[in-house]
A = this chain, B = another copy of it.
Amino acid sequence: MSNSRRMLIDPQGISIDRWEDLLSQGEKSDLASFVNTMKSLNLPSACFCDCTASDSPCDFYESIMKASISVVTPNKRANSGDFGRYKAIKRIAREKDVVYGYETTVGAGLPVIGTLRDLVACGDRISRIEAVLSGTVSFIFNELGKGGRFSSLVLEAKEKGYTEPDPRDDLGAVDIARKTLILIREAGLDLDMKDIHIQPILPDKLVKAPSVREFLQLLPEADESIGAMAATAKEKGRVLRYVAVITPAGAELSLRDYGPESPFYNLSGTDNLVMFSTERYSANPLVIRGPGAGAAVTAGGVFADILKTAQSYL
């Protein structure tokens, strides 16, 4: 067990009742040494669980799997990062027959990745994926549809702990682009990050503000343009959603408006929604909807991946 400060390795296991106390007494954390010790212990049915959002643990995945240890993670970096590394991780998981579990990288505990994987594995062809992929951005536009003010809603989302410490990490759409690329790769489509056309949510001036504080001060400047778009949509009985659309021809992240006939219309809270149109699901798509962020649902999803790993070792 390790966090960014301390690490603790005990082949007898770590008491779940005392882990915080025990970990705080552990040695100074060092990922390379953690991984080496884990490998040398050579415990049966081992699983490495990376719950960071950082790129550095991903560089260890290949070497961990080569030691016949499975990897389970909600960390988006490996699957949305360098294509060569991604392919190598997938190949080694297959070669060593270990689990590489990352269901929670898109939609947290929602069954998005597994469903897409089953569709593709069974010979279905993806014609279109249309998705709201950020709980934070979903919250802001859901509330905007009810008549809220954009800048106040960003602050509210920040106060509720929905956003990253720097809300531009959410509103800059980088996180949504990462999830889009994960879906693209899982769908086996021949597209890369450069093929994802991003229509920014915010004007350039705000994104490039020198600090979070100045960004938040400038934020009301976005109210007028976004407010006007929301008002226009409302006049037509529609609502704005920031949506990723993926087809074999390309991918786009943009604000779109939806009427009451669409499953996107009634989203609420931090709901994500992923709609798969395929050769078999053509007239009517396969839709998965629900809260796509939050500690409890993400932890549940990570635990489900760990249980599948345990079963794979039986």
Number of copies: 2
Bound-state Cα–Cα, A23 to B297, Å: 49
Q: Tell me if A280 and B303 are in contact (CB < 8 A).
A: no
Bound-state Cα–Cα, A291 to B263, Å: 14
Extra A-B contacts (12), CB below 8 Å, given A111-B288, A119-B300, A288-B289: A111-B118, A114-B114, A118-B304, A121-B304, A122-B300, A270-B284, A283-B291, A286-B289, A287-B287, A287-B289, A288-B288, A289-B289
The answer to the question of A109 belonging to the interface, with a C-beta cut-off of 8 Å to chain B, is yes
Contact A121:B307 (CB < 8 A) given known A110-B286, A263-B266, A266-B263: yes
Q: Tell me if A303 and B263 are in contact (CB < 8 A).
A: no
* Partner of A111 from B111, B303, B314 at Cβ < 8 Å: B111
Bound-state Cα–Cα, A285 to B312, Å: 29
Q: Tell me if B269 and A284 are in contact (CB < 8 A).
A: yes
Bound-state Cα–Cα, A269 to B282, Å: 11
The answer to the question of A84 belonging to the interface, with a C-beta cut-off of 8 Å to chain B, is no
The answer to the question of A261 belonging to the interface, with a C-beta cut-off of 8 Å to chain B, is yes
Bound-state Cα–Cα, A266 to B259, Å: 11
Q: Tell me if B281 and A297 are in contact (CB < 8 A).
A: yes
Contact A271:B288 (CB < 8 A) given known A122-B304, A300-B119: no
The answer to the question of A296 belonging to the interface, with a C-beta cut-off of 8 Å to chain B, is yes
Query: Taking the nearest CB of chain B, how far is it from the CB of A256, in angstroms?
Result: 17
Q: Tell me if B263 and A263 are in contact (CB < 8 A).
A: yes
The answer to the question of A210 belonging to the interface, with a C-beta cut-off of 8 Å to chain B, is no
Q: 1/0 per position for A296-311, CB-CB distance to B under 8 A?
A: 1100110110010000
Most B CB atoms within 10 A — which of A123, A266, A300?
A300
Query: Taking the nearest CB of chain B, how far is it from the CB of A187, in angstroms?
Result: 15
* Nearest 9 pairs of A and B residues by beta carbon: A286-B290, A118-B304, A287-B289, A122-B303, A122-B300, A280-B296, A111-B115, A111-B111, A269-B284
Q: Which residues of B contact A262 (CB under 8 A)?
A: 266
The answer to the question of A44 belonging to the interface, with a C-beta cut-off of 8 Å to chain B, is no
Query: Taking the nearest CB of chain B, how far is it from the CB of A172, in angstroms?
Result: 25
A-B pairs with beta carbons under 8 Å apart, 11 shown? A111-B115, A111-B118, A118-B304, A118-B307, A122-B301, A122-B307, A123-B300, A280-B296, A281-B291, A286-B291, A287-B287
Most B CB atoms within 10 A — which of A110, A260, A280, A304?
A280
The answer to the question of A124 belonging to the interface, with a C-beta cut-off of 8 Å to chain B, is yes
Contact A123:B297 (CB < 8 A) given known A266-B261, A284-B290, A290-B281: no
The answer to the question of A223 belonging to the interface, with a C-beta cut-off of 8 Å to chain B, is no
The answer to the question of A268 belonging to the interface, with a C-beta cut-off of 8 Å to chain B, is yes
Q: Which residues of B contact A170 (CB under 8 A)?
A: none
Bound-state Cα–Cα, A285 to B291, Å: 7
